[in-house]
Chain A
């Protein structure tokens, strides 16, 4: 797969919530090859502070315009948020494997489950899923009403959007896992009679993903998860981002087979593949 290091001009970098920003720039090279779930490795500074790039998912693609949605959590994302339109941006991408979002025709319903900033890659996924199906459910979890992201964007794509907040200021009072529970439990029988299967795509903080894993294991629903790790190279060269995966058939001979690289083999994994106790 071809990967590009491009230097582009920022079209727009605007604040979308208390601590989240959306940035856009044009890159034909990346836009015409990228898949939902893939990410960019972004240089946040021209100095050695911070030194390393920061991995950020692709949030949207419109024509050749790439959008990222990011939360300011430290120095790198802080510097990114200070950039304005016309400033240069240096990105490497597309990186990683991306979601396997091919649906079985007429018998698979996608549910997108995003916690906090974890919603970022799911919007691009929804953009692509609309090409295949019209009944996408999106479950958005946030700490409170002010931090809910992308609700209007998903609605514009005709997705069925449900919201949860930790303080009950919008949607249900609870977590996005509670929302998912509701999707799985009552409709399970209905889905069965209609011969429909769910396909879940999720991203968010690890404690949430762990609960999603428990839930979908119980109901045996096919699920893909996008994970994060501290990264240096982002391209599979440094072994910095490994994650433990379930026993590989070859692992008796070679234990390294049980470790995958989040940057190259991921960031998207089948939820069953991950050894959740190890994260």
Chain B
């Protein structure tokens, strides 16, 4: 029997398997290290970091909905300085590629942050552009031109592998994906959360203090899968698929739809061992289907 390999190389980031911890659900990796061996992941994407610390949104920030959850954390994070001085040195001690997820409310903030992080021993940068752009109406990722300009500027200051993370809250996600590729992105990741809301009919109040929040978990999977399918047909760069992945079967669906790797978010909360179980499940599937490497599965939808 031939050797089965789960190794992948996404945009120059070498991973021992295609299972990544999704931003915002795995903190800075250290929290979960008390419970599981975080080295099992192919890579870890940090919680979004902004230039300055952010306190995030008021409570309640989390509410459970059918087969999913809404969150309105609001990018609470300690800022670039604390990340660089306190979090990153500990994270680098693990043998797993670290991808910093960065965001900002102005183009210049992204650029400055990307510049700050360029020689820090990171394996890559992920741009969270699903955030309000204070200089223009809407989110960065809701406009192809804005996305293009932003990615282009960041591209100029960093030679790190650059992943652009897209929001599903757009009319045509493939346009944004194409704009990112044209501007020099090395990979695309999708989807970020879908905007939703939930109401307490007794108090007649929204269940989230922020009124609206991002939907994640199994509820979003069909939407995410469709978007990965559409985007991967339109770009040449690799796609990292995420949104509602709970099992190896879910992951394989994303790979078949065109993803080169998958990321796990909400499932970590439910079952911290999800990553290991997915890796085992993918191996079993590869054996049963005579696949030798992950790229044999990617895009093999009939």
Contacts and interface: CB of A to CB of B under 8 A. Distances in A.
Interface of A: 1-5, 43, 48-53, 92, 229-243, 254-256, 258-259, 264
B217 A240 contact: no
A5 B273 contact: yes
A235 B82 contact: no
A234 B217 CA distance: 17
B71 A240 contact: yes
Contacts of A50: 64
B54 A237 contact: no
> Does more than half of chain B's interface fall in helix, strand or loop, or is it mixed?
loop
B31 interface: yes
Contacts of B270: 43, 51-53
A238 B53 contact: no
Contacts of B53: 254-256
Contact of B32 (A48, A51, A232, A237): A237
Contact of A51 (B56, B67, B76): B67
Contacts of B169: none
B268 A254 contact: no
Given A256-B54, A258-B55, A238 B77 contact: no
The 8 closest A-B pairs by CB, nearest first: A237-B27, A240-B62, A236-B31, A237-B31, A48-B67, A3-B35, A256-B53, A254-B53
Contacts of A233: 25, 27, 31, 268-269
A48 B55 contact: no
Contact of A232 (B31, B66, B269): B269
A166 to B, nearest CB: 21
A55 to B, nearest CB: 12
Contact of A230 (B32, B56, B62): B62
Interface of B: 24-27, 31-32, 34-36, 47, 53-56, 59-64, 66-69, 71, 73, 76-79, 82, 217-218, 246, 266, 268-273
Contacts of A264: 31
Which of A231, A238, A239, A240 has most chain B Cβ within 10 Å?
A238
B59 A232 contact: no
A258 B67 CA distance: 33
Q: Which of B27, B269, B271 gathers most chain A CB within 10 Å?
A: B269
Contact of B61 (A2, A5, A49, A240): A240
Contacts of A48: 67-68, 217-218, 246
A76 B244 CA distance: 20
B73 A238 contact: yes
Contact of A238 (B24, B35, B66): B24
A259 B69 CA distance: 22
A182 to B, nearest CB: 33
A112 to B, nearest CB: 27
Nearest to B34: A3
Contacts of B77: 256
A256 B76 contact: yes
Contact of A254 (B24, B35, B78, B269): B78
A95 to B, nearest CB: 9
